[in-house]
Structure 1
Amino acid sequence: MPVPVPPQESSAPSRPSSTLGVLRVYLGPLKWQVAGLAALLLTGTGLNLLLPQLLRAFVDSAKLGAGADVGLMARLAGLYILLAIGVQLMTAGATYVGARVGWTATNRLRVDLMAHLLSLDMREHKERTPGEMIERIDGDVTALSNFFSQFAVRVFGAALLLVGALFMFFREDWRVGAGVTLFTTVTLIAMNRVRKLGVEPTRLERESSARLFGFVEERLAGLEDIRSLGAGGHHLNSFLRTQRTFFTRSVNSWRRRSIVWQLSMALFAVGYVGVLSVAVGLYATGAITLGTAFLLYNYMSLVEEPIDQLTQQLQELQKAGASLVRVGEILALRSAIHGGTLELPEDGALSLAFEDVSFSYSPDEPEVRGVLHGVSFHLPAGQTMGLLGRTGSGKTTLTRLVSRLYDATSGSVRLGGVNVQDVDLHGLRRRVAVVTQDVQLFQASVRDNLSFFDPEITDEEVEAALNEVGLGTWLARLKDGVHTPLPTGSLSAGEAQLLAFARVMLRDPAVIILDEPSSRLDPATEALLTAAMTRLLDGRTAIIIAHRLDTVARADRILVLGDGEVLEDGPRAVLARNSGSHYAELLRAGTLEEEGEGVLA
């Protein structure tokens, strides 16, 4: 009997869609490192603001000429050098800590984004190319990483330095302080308004980059067909058009973002002229010393430096803002498939039943005809069902509903008498294994290909699974055994299929779905595969999708689909003896003609 389990709560943090939200969620757990960073920045800023004071004292002392205190000037110079070194050390430390904080935070974001993409419905993945997904995880998050790894040091540090410099202006002369503060306010407002001009062009640039990634991925995947059909030139022309769009949008995006620093340069040209004019005027009237005039110029450079940093970060903010919008679009997607609270039994085969199941890939479009219509059947535990039908009849779609890659539009799918929608999703997919026609192999070791990188599976278990499916001799030839790298394309179709069987052996599922397992094999390899399949299906419930009838020659039951409906369902031997059945007709016309005649006799 299924037993209830408590619903599992996600350990991932709430997924924000704003810059402040990202900072709060992903920098929050790093608060002590952020505190240390703040201490470094505060200390460095204080030292930086003290340096012009030493310069003023040095200049005023030097102006005395012969009456200057050489010892005082030497002490001032030495102290200035020490403080300048301290500023550099503080800046280097803040840069290092800031990079650690930024990359740690955005790496967590990358992991959350990857986990979220893996949890989405197949429907979402069918609508986006793998290249686009790669760009979202790598390109967009890298843009955020570049921003956040420097955000605290350059933005927070620049803000501290800017406020400190304005305070020092007020300390020297409130009128000068008020004028510089007004200039700074106007400059920041103007740059903030101009900054927004680059957000949309940057978003379009990232979209073009995603399309370029998707284009390259699709062409590499179809390289064999492109070459064999001599279509390389046409695809190259398409690539150039895609690349041209990306280049044009990149240039336009850069031009929009560059307006910020161009405006900053123009405004500060005016600002320096204003401060120098005031300093010269006050010095000429005797209101300030030469050292103070020099100090005002230095503090103006301390105002320019943080605003220049803010200007550069505003450009990064534009990139980050566009990337954050695109990342937010993905994080905002929600899977329509949610796990239940029941667990399936851990041991033994499970019965499978479809009860009036209908399914459409476009449930929101009633005018689009569905793939399955009122499908009902029952497969007892431990039996094997051969699933037959023409291409497009709904065979693959039917099997996808068992492991809940999709949910039925209506009706119910039951495993062991329990509706699959009430079962814990992870537990369901652990108990249902699917072997597709095109086996996916990774550029990793044999062990990792079989265990899917699960460290808890032992080498002995991997070796036992390979021996079980008849690959013991093949394994013995490998230099490093199960740790031998398995380059893509190094296996024949039969060996790849047997490796997929070994994967299933390691999982020990209750239900197995095989999608045309022997469609591309020669007779000798097919015999080896059949023997492995017999061992694999022993004691398990199985569905075998087949176009070749000899693949289902040992099935207990046969289900024939046609245009999404059940044309025939029953024990294989009974249907074979019934000369009027669809299955008997297929036997007479198919590859099992001799065996069919023997069965019918």
Structure 2
Amino acid sequence: MTQKETVRRILQFIRVYRIQVVLSLILAAVSVFLSLYIPILFGDMIDCIVSPQHVNWSLMGINGRRIFVLIIGYAVSTWTMNVINNHIAYQVVKDMRDQVMEKIQCLPLSYLDQRETGDLVQRVIGDIDQISDGLLLGFTQLFTGVLTIFATLVFMLVKSVLITIFVVVCTPLSFAVARFIASRSYRMFRLQTQTRGRQTGLIDEMIGHQKVVQAFDHQDRASAAFASLNDELHAYSWRAVFYSSLTNPCTRFVNGIIYAGVLVFGARQILAHALTIGGLSVLLNYSNQYMKPFNDISSVISELQNALACAARVFELLDARPESTDPAAELSDVKGDIAVCDVNFSYDRNKPLLRHINVHANAGRKIALVGPTGCGKTTLINLLMRFYDVDAGSIRIDGMDIRDVSRASLRRSFGMVLQETWIRQGTVRENITLGKPDAADEEIYAAARAAHSYEFIRRLPDGLDTVLYADSLSQGQKQLLCITRVMLVHPPMLILDEATSSIDTRTEVLVQKAFDALMKGRTAFVVAHRLSTIQNADWILVMKDGQIIEQGTHASLLAEHGFYAQLYNSQFQA
């Protein structure tokens, strides 16, 4: 995305607050007019001093009082303008962050799976904060700066046409210097923000999995990887700041030449009686006023360039293709008859994964999926939940293609317990009622007893109101809470993906009985590596290399002495 496109997109967010923008412009015009009119009064006061014996004290007093009133007016208008500008900047950033968060919620899992979590977090938080800083500087410097430039030229023309022409002719030189440096600093800031995103991703990985890092003595390599990224970030940051820091001294040098030129031309006009001393002081003041916006803008050019680079990354996320359009049809009165018809799927088009998968699960049946790691069991579960869409074939529930119903109604019909637990920072009640926020405490306790989590919940300091953090519970307790979450909802269909993998053997037996009661009359897909837990399944699908190579009951598969029998027997060999 080019700088011009990025600025256009930012202006689309600002357009919502056009009334405040207009008010800010009006106040900027007032403050600029007052700041430019005050030097005229000072010049008149200087001209009141003809000689030590001839001073027009009455006129000086009148001009002094006018200056005092104008200074107060300038201060009030500038303060009000800054308050409005802050409001606009923070509201725009708030709207942008809301849109980014909403966008993430509707992005396909394929997009999120292919990007580092830390980089996405950096865009939502760090990059948008940089945009906020850039917007504040843009509003406070740009509005008043542009108005000051044009208004100063008008005031200067009234005093001296010749000096005004000289200043205007020299202006492009200052512009050329700033543009030359800005074009190079933007590229460096772009690389800086990209590297910062990668660094945030690495930090997120290392801190989030510090136990694994220490267990495998990976600290030195992790530190080396971070140091490499840090050096890279330092290099880009140094170059970006170096280029941007050249802008201010270079433009000040050009402005100093302009100031000296105004002084020389003005002195000659005084000798020719075409200008007064007070008039020259006004022109010199205007020369500074005219060049000040260029100095201000150049002094914050690094922040503006950084903000534009960050905005480009945010807009790249906002422009990501969302999930396909959700149909309006709802999946209701679900009986649980599931048919997987000749399904093909792959994460990478060049590497086929699932091939010609055919499964028919009658309502109320318990289907077990077994097979070695990477054979496609969890992928089939992802397709059932429509986290991904099939490449070919179809999946039907009660005769309806799941692509013809809304994702929300489809996922409400499933209860899902994964091997990887997810407990949000919040109370126990908030974690259990994720799928049923209005559940009463009696319902929660009933679900907890069924999932055998009631005892440890009761022992917590505040019971259901205990606030949970990352290490508040053991892995097994987290898994029990996830199971309780499903028990509370009572969905018509269940997916259990290694749901008891983190639970001790004794508790697993109890939970398995609870699952058996929960699955009675419900269609269930169970993924398990411990084959002893799925012996009572109605039908077992044996997968290998993305295909179903065997299927049947536990007894019939053992009788075939095939791949399933090898897997089963290997778990009980001495």
What TM-score, normalized to structure 2?
0.93
1:115 aligns with 2:96: no
Which one of the candidate residues 35, 40, 43 is aligned to 1:56? 43
Which one of the candidate residues 64, 68, 81 is aligned to 1:77? 64
Distance 1:549 1:453, change over 3 A: closer
1:186 aligns with 2:173: yes
Which one of the candidate residues 360, 382, 403 is aligned to 1:400? 382
| Structure 2 partner of 1:4 | none
Q: Once the 2 structures are TM-superposed, how far is the Cα of residue 474 of structure 1 from its aligned partner?
A: 2.6
CA contact (8 A) 1:136 1:326 kept: yes
Which one of the candidate residues 178, 182, 185 is aligned to 1:195? 182
| Structure 2 partner of 1:473 | 455
Q: Once the 2 structures are TM-superposed, how far is the Cα of residue 464 of structure 1 from its aligned partner?
A: 4.8
1:512 aligns with 2:494: yes
Amino acid of the structure 2 residue aligned with 1:499: L
| Structure 2 partner of 1:440 | 422
CA distance in 2, matches of 1:542, 1:453: 18
CA distance in 2, matches of 1:183, 1:505: 77
CA distance in 1, matches of 2:441, 2:163: 76
Which one of the candidate residues 378, 403, 422 is aligned to 2:360? 378
**Runs of at least 5 residues in structure 1 that lack an aligned partner in the other structure:** 1-15, 594-601
Give the number of equivalent residue pairs: 571
| Structure 2 partner of 1:279 | 266
CA distance in 2, matches of 1:360, 1:409: 7
Amino acid of the structure 1 residue aligned with 2:212: D
| Structure 2 partner of 1:228 | 215
Q: Once the 2 structures are TM-superposed, how far is the Cα of residue 133 of structure 1 from its aligned partner?
A: 1.0
What are the equivalent positions in structure 2 for 1:476-555 lying under 5 Å apart?
Answer: 476-555=458-537
Secondary structure of 2:53's partner? Answer: helix
Q: Once the 2 structures are TM-superposed, how far is the Cα of residue 125 of structure 1 from its aligned partner?
A: 1.8
What are the equivalent positions in structure 2 for 1:347-386 lying under 5 Å apart?
Answer: 347-363=333-349, 365=350, 368=351, 370-386=352-368
Amino acid of the structure 1 residue aligned with 2:257: V
Amino acid of the structure 2 residue aligned with 1:45: V
CA contact (8 A) 1:356 1:410 kept: yes
Secondary structure of 1:411's partner? Answer: strand
CA contact (8 A) 1:349 1:539 kept: no
CA contact (8 A) 2:17 2:88 kept: yes
CA distance in 1, matches of 2:164, 2:178: 21
Moved more, 537-546 or 65-74: 65-74
Moved more, 172-181 or 455-464: 455-464
Distance 1:63 1:483, change over 3 A: farther
1:261 aligns with 2:248: yes
Amino acid of the structure 1 residue aligned with 2:344: S
CA distance in 1, matches of 2:441, 2:72: 56
Moved more, 216-225 or 527-536: 527-536
Q: Once the 2 structures are TM-superposed, how far is the Cα of residue 64 of structure 1 from its aligned partner?
A: 4.5
Distance 1:539 1:17, change over 3 A: farther
Amino acid of the structure 2 residue aligned with 1:47: L
| Structure 1 partner of 2:27 | 40
| Structure 2 partner of 1:160 | 147
CA contact (8 A) 2:103 2:322 kept: no
CA contact (8 A) 1:357 1:373 kept: yes
Q: Once the 2 structures are TM-superposed, how far is the Cα of residue 378 of structure 1 from its aligned partner?
A: 0.7
CA contact (8 A) 1:433 1:512 kept: yes
CA contact (8 A) 2:432 2:484 kept: yes
CA distance in 2, matches of 1:537, 1:453: 18
CA distance in 2, matches of 1:273, 1:511: 83
Q: Once the 2 structures are TM-superposed, how far is the Cα of residue 61 of structure 1 from its aligned partner?
A: 1.4
CA distance in 1, matches of 2:171, 2:442: 70
What are the equivalent positions in structure 2 for 1:455-474 lying under 5 Å apart?
Answer: 462-474=444-456
Q: Once the 2 structures are TM-superposed, how far is the Cα of residue 334 of structure 1 from its aligned partner?
A: 0.9
CA contact (8 A) 1:132 1:214 kept: yes
Amino acid of the structure 2 residue aligned with 1:541: T
Distance 1:41 1:398, change over 3 A: same
Distance 1:437 1:267, change over 3 A: same
Amino acid of the structure 1 residue aligned with 2:274: A
Which one of the candidate residues 288, 305, 308 is aligned to 2:295? 308
The RMSD of aligned alpha carbons is 2.4
Residue deviations 1:449-478, cap 9 Å, x none?
Answer: 334498656666545543442323333233
Distance 1:430 1:37, change over 3 A: farther
Secondary structure of 1:18's partner? Answer: helix
Q: Once the 2 structures are TM-superposed, how far is the Cα of residue 532 of structure 1 from its aligned partner?
A: 3.4
CA distance in 2, matches of 1:535, 1:68: 104
Distance 1:393 1:520, change over 3 A: same
CA contact (8 A) 1:494 1:525 kept: no
| Structure 1 partner of 2:232 | 245
CA contact (8 A) 1:337 1:406 kept: no
| Structure 1 partner of 2:330 | 343
Secondary structure of 2:541's partner? Answer: strand
What TM-score, normalized to structure 1?
0.89
Q: Once the 2 structures are TM-superposed, how far is the Cα of residue 550 of structure 1 from its aligned partner?
A: 2.5
Q: Once the 2 structures are TM-superposed, how far is the Cα of residue 18 of structure 1 from its aligned partner?
A: 2.1
Moved more, 258-267 or 64-73: 64-73
The sequence identity of aligned pairs, in percent, is 27
1:145 aligns with 2:132: yes
CA distance in 2, matches of 1:303, 1:457: 67
Amino acid of the structure 2 residue aligned with 1:285: A
Distance 1:293 1:92, change over 3 A: same
Distance 1:54 1:508, change over 3 A: farther
Secondary structure of 2:509's partner? Answer: helix
Amino acid of the structure 2 residue aligned with 1:355: C
1:417 aligns with 2:403: no
| Structure 1 partner of 2:81 | 94
Amino acid of the structure 2 residue aligned with 1:147: G
CA distance in 2, matches of 1:469, 1:263: 71
Distance 1:296 1:461, change over 3 A: farther
Q: Once the 2 structures are TM-superposed, how far is the Cα of residue 585 of structure 1 from its aligned partner?
A: 5.5
Moved more, 209-218 or 34-43: 34-43
Distance 1:234 1:581, change over 3 A: closer
CA distance in 2, matches of 1:165, 1:453: 64
Q: Once the 2 structures are TM-superposed, how far is the Cα of residue 438 of structure 1 from its aligned partner?
A: 1.4
Residue deviations 1:484-531, cap 9 Å, x none?
Answer: 210212212221111112222444433321111122322222123223
Amino acid of the structure 1 residue aligned with 2:417: V
CA contact (8 A) 1:518 1:551 kept: no
**Runs of at least 5 residues in structure 2 that lack an aligned partner in the other structure:** none
CA distance in 2, matches of 1:453, 1:249: 46
Q: Once the 2 structures are TM-superposed, how far is the Cα of residue 25 of structure 1 from its aligned partner?
A: 2.3
Q: Once the 2 structures are TM-superposed, how far is the Cα of residue 278 of structure 1 from its aligned partner?
A: 1.6
Secondary structure of 2:389's partner? Answer: coil
CA contact (8 A) 1:498 1:532 kept: no
Residue deviations 1:343-396, cap 9 Å, x none?
Answer: 101x44422211011111111x2xx3x111100011112222111111111101
Amino acid of the structure 1 residue aligned with 2:556: L
Secondary structure of 1:512's partner? Answer: strand
Residue deviations 1:391-442, cap 9 Å, x none?
Answer: 1111011111111221112111112221122221232233234321110222
CA contact (8 A) 2:340 2:358 kept: yes
Distance 1:125 1:287, change over 3 A: same
